[in-house]
Amino acid sequence: MLYQGRVFKFGDNINTDWIISGRYKFKITDMSQLAQYLMEDLRPGFYNELIPKKSIIVAGENFGMGSSREQAPWVIKEAGVLCVVAKSFARIFYRNAFNIGLALVEADTSQLNESDEININFDKGLITRAGSSEAITFKPWDEFRKELVNCQGIIKYLQKHKTFALK
């Protein structure tokens, strides 16, 4: 599994209210509309900077801290972001993200810069910058995480494996 995209870099301790501001999260229930306000309080107009299916959010430590609301990973996914790479994630954000099929990678992000073009190889556990032979390593994904993301989340994964049926 390989992702390629452009880096949009943020710092440490990005909380769920910065990912999606509290002033919208209960007024707008359509995730595609809510996604337009992604990171608005930190970077006004951020949604308009994104390149759908070619954007990767990179951050420092403790990304997604704060509430357990699923809107935070949902709006990232709905905005067309391929993946979030951070030094660490808040535990509930990490679980919510994989439950909806949003790819996350824990790696040292200090060498990555805004606008870098990067490749993420989930099988080998490597992040490389275009034009560079240097690699950042991370623990390669297990088959379960790969399939969760490929299935677009836990519900479709369970349906595929006939262990869950919507009525």
Domains with residue ranges and CATH for the chain: 2-160 (3.20.19.10)
The pTM of the full predicted model, rounded to 2 decimals, is 0.92
The pLDDT score that the predictor gives to residue 165 is 58
The pLDDT score that the predictor gives to residue 20 is 92
Strands (DSSP E) contained in 34-95 are 55-59, 81-86
Does the pLDDT of residue 130 top 60, yes or no? Answer: yes
- Residue 57 neighbours by CB under 8 Å, 6+ apart: 8, 10, 76, 81, 83, 84, 85
Q: Residue 82: what residue type?
A: L
Strands 2-9 and 126-129, by their bridges, are unpaired
The pLDDT score that the predictor gives to residue 29 is 82
The pLDDT score that the predictor gives to residue 14 is 97
**Run of H or E residues at 128:** strand 126-129
Q: How much is the CA Rg of the chain, to the nearest whole Å?
A: 15
The pLDDT score that the predictor gives to residue 132 is 85
The pLDDT score that the predictor gives to residue 133 is 84
If one compares 74 and 27, the residue with the highest pLDDT of the two is 74
Find residue 90's DSSP bridge partners.
Answer: none
Q: Within 10 A of 87 (CB to CB), how many other CB atoms are there?
A: 16
Convert the pLDDT of each residue in 31-61 to its tens digit. Answer: 899 999 999 999 999 999 999 899 999 999 9
Instruction: Give the residue among 99, 90, 89, 87 at the shortest CA–CA distance from 127.
Output: 87
Q: Is 66 left (phi over 0), alpha (psi -120 to 50) or beta?
A: left
Of the pLDDT bands very low, low, confident and very high (cuts 50, 70, 90), residue 166 is low
Does the pLDDT of residue 97 top 90, yes or no? Answer: yes
Name the token pair of 21. 């501001």
Does the pLDDT of residue 139 top 90, yes or no? Answer: yes
Does the pLDDT of residue 167 top 60, yes or no? Answer: no
Mean pLDDT confidence for 137-159: 90
Find residue 6's DSSP bridge partners.
Answer: 55, 117
